Amino acid sequence: MEAIVAGLVILLLIFFFLGVGTWVFAGLLLVSITGLMLLLDMSTHRVGVIAVKIIWRYASTWELAAIPMFVWMGEIIFRTDISDRLFRGLAPLVDMIPGRLLHTNVLGCTMFAAVSGSSAATTATVGKITTTELARRNYDTNLAIGSLAGAGSLGLLIPPSIVMIIYGILAEVSVARLFAAGVFPGLLVAGLYSAYIIARCMANPELSPKSSETMTFGQRLKGAVNLLPVIVLMFLVLGSIYSGLATPSEAAAVGATAAIILTLLMRQMTWAIFVESLMGAVKVSCMVCIILIAAAFLSTAMGYLHVPANIAKAIGTLNLSPIGLILILSVFYIVLGLFLDGISIVVMSLPITLPLILQAGFDPVWFGVYLVIMVELGQVTPPIGFNLFVLQGLTGHPIGRVAIAALPFFVLMCIAVGIVTLLPEIALWLPDFLFNKPT
Amino acid sequence: MKLFQDIVFRLSKLAAYLSAAILIFMVCHILVEIVLRSFFDSSTFVLDEFVGYGVAAMTFLALGYSLEEGALIRVNILLIRTKGAVRRGLELVCVFSTLVLSSYVFYYFWRNWKRDWDRGAVSESIAEIPMWIPEGLVVLGIILFIIQLFAYFVRVATGGDMITSGGGEE
């Protein structure tokens, strides 16, 4: 009973501190500190000593360095014409498939996701070009915006991925395995999106108007050369991880350096872009890292209060089947996703849900993939969904309109979660194949 | 008043530039490590330690700048639905509680720093880095954050501009 009360008090504190609008990191720290003082009667001194110990330990975790570096790489690409080339390269290739240029959203995001760790960056970088190009050619607005909202969130699932690094650090799971586990589920989601676009456009060809230009095979091939920068970056980042040359955190440094060299060679890099991208990376990674550090303290506080263990025990007495547990968690995460951003969802829920999942016999790597898809769902649900915000900014349509356009893709993502839950091998086959099964 | 705000933001920005320099340093250190390991079968032996300090320092040093630039995310369900004096009051509550929190965390970080400084504590690795250096950068970051928060508190209380949060990244 006491545990339930403690859990409820913590939950109330979270709603209170985050609800009034304190910065997320400050809110999490305030919850933890007041929780420990109120519920365990700890002295301010003792809490302070514990807090500083935990904060320092997590702040100086070197795996965190992957975050500023991947963000920096994304910032560089965002500020140069690599995304423009991505569109020019893909457009001739997809022109033959029903749905035509709508597929540049899906394929562009899938490819860009492989060099970027964040979904907002993916949506913004790909959308910067495709939203105007598709609108200019009179493509169906709902499909154009919706597919971008859905596909943009692939940035989280397809490696590298900042959310996966965060999950890996907090859950103590190998980030390289997580990255490998995200590949096929990511391709599955992309495949579902493309299939949906094809189906819709075959039923109603007016959704994707025919272009007047006809191209020869040679011209198409020439266009595809524009894909080279992204492919090179993809190859270097993922290649350095899976060849064993670099750990995922080190691969981030390789990626950032490669992006700088590549943009220098393309004569795109200027001093201004260099400084802007660097300062952008500093800002974003400061935001992510400080939340992560605060969340680590929240986990510790919850551990002191025995909240996760007791909730796990309470749910254990319900005798849920593993599938029942996943269903309940899915509802829980979709509700959280309505109001919270991805990082907050992962860091706040993990201390409670991870023990539950492990107890039920799920693989922590699989759960990482599941969690990332749940976070992706949260990206496209109003009132708080970052992909929706990005698209609102890009297209000027109100957020409600964007959310409705994204709805079919939300449903497709739910289907993908179902498939990955029933067939966990989709996620687990590649990491097992690459790194052998852990014993 | 304007001068005070300007000076504070300039300090925050300076610290953010330091963060950026640390980021570049970390990238270089990792590249050196990869080259040493792959081609010379050697290592700098201090990669995880140095990069760890780097992340800690760059995160805390950039706090003030990120705050002022609206990069630190917050849940704005309530904030976007309030206006005028209520909104301003709510902002003051948020800033004030963050200010109290930061000062509290600062006090304990300062204690640690002072202790390591007095004892001349060094890290347990072969580099034997004096612990006051990385801890000092974190303490400095927190101090600048507190100053930036205070400046912001004064600005909101006197009717100045409020930070419009960009919403963040994920």
Render each residue's pLDDT in chain A as its tens digit; 439 residues: 566 777 778 778 887 887 788 887 888 888 888 888 888 888 888 888 888 888 888 888 877 888 888 888 888 888 888 878 888 888 888 888 888 888 988 998 888 888 777 777 788 788 878 888 888 888 888 899 999 988 988 888 888 888 888 899 888 898 889 989 999 999 999 999 999 999 999 988 888 787 766 677 777 777 788 888 888 888 888 888 888 788 888 888 888 898 899 888 888 888 988 998 899 889 888 887 888 788 778 878 877 877 777 777 777 777 788 888 899 889 888 887 776 667 777 877 888 888 888 888 899 999 999 999 998 888 888 766 777 877 877 787 877 788 899 999 999 999 999 999 999 999 999 988 888 765 4
pLDDT reported for residue A1: 56
Nearest alpha carbon to residue B51 among B33, B35, B36: B33
pLDDT of residue B10 exceeding 90, the answer is no
**Residues of B whose CB is below 8 A from A254:** 30-31, 34
How close does chain A come to B53, measured CA to CA in Å? 5
pLDDT above 50: residue B72: yes
Q: Would you state the pLDDT for residue A196?
A: 94
pLDDT at B170 over 70: no
Give CA separation, B102 vs A29, B96, B106, B141, in Å: 10, 10, 6, 11
Q: Which residues pair with A23 in a beta bridge?
A: B74
Facing A52 at nearest CB: one of B26, B31, B112:
B112
In this predicted model, what pLDDT tens digit does every residue of B82-137 receive, in sequence order? 778 888 888 888 899 899 999 998 999 898 888 888 887 777 777 777 888 888 88
Calpha distance A93→A72 (Å, rounded): 30
Q: How far is CA A337 from CA A316, A329, B44, B73, in A?
A: 25, 12, 43, 15
Q: Mention every residue, 6+ apart, whose C-beta is less than 8 A from residue A311.
A: A3, A4, A7, A352, A356
Q: Tell me what pLDDT residue A212 has.
A: 64
Distance set, CA A406 to CA A108, A381, B166 (Å): 17, 8, 22
**A249 near B CB under 8 A:** yes
What ipTM score was computed for the predicted complex, to two decimals? 0.89
Q: Which residue has the higher pLDDT, B142 or A302?
A: B142
> Nearest residue on chain A to B109, judged by CA atoms?
A52
CB-based contact B79 A18, cutoff 8 Å: no
Q: How far is A220 from chain B (nearest CA, A)?
A: 35
Model pLDDT, residue A195 = 94
Mutate to test the interface with A, among B75, B77, B116, B148 (most CBs of A within 10 A): B75
Q: Quick check: A197 and A389 in contact, CB under 8 A?
A: no
Binning pLDDT at 50, 70 and 90, where does residue B169 land? very low
- For the cut 80, the answer to whether the pLDDT of residue B43 exceeds it is no
B55 contacts in chain A (CB < 8 Å): 59-62, 64-65, 68, 289
Q: Does A293 touch chain B (CB under 8 A)?
A: yes
- Pick the residue from chain B with its C-alpha nearest to A275: B20
Contact B66 A286 (CB under 8 A): yes
CB contacts under 8 A, A 139-168 vs B, are: 156, 162-163
Model confidence band, residue B165 (pLDDT cutoffs 50, 70, 90): low
CB contact under 8 Å between A282 and B66, yes or no, is yes
- Please give the pLDDT value at position B134: 85
Which of the four pLDDT bands, split at 50, 70 and 90, describes residue B168? very low
Please give the span between the terminal C-alpha atoms of chain B, in angstroms, as a whole number: 35
- Of B81 and A80, more confident: A80
Q: Is the pLDDT of residue B167 over 60?
A: no
3-state secondary structure of A159: coil
Question: Which residues make Cβ contacts (< 8 Å) with residue B9, sequence separation at least 6?
Answer: B68, B148, B151
Q: How far apart are CA A9 and CA A304, in angstroms?
A: 14
Contact present, B59 and A276 (Cβ < 8 Å) = no
> CB-based contact (8 Å) between A51 and chain B?
yes
Identify all chain B residues contacting A22, using CB atoms and an 8 Å cutoff: 74, 94, 97-98
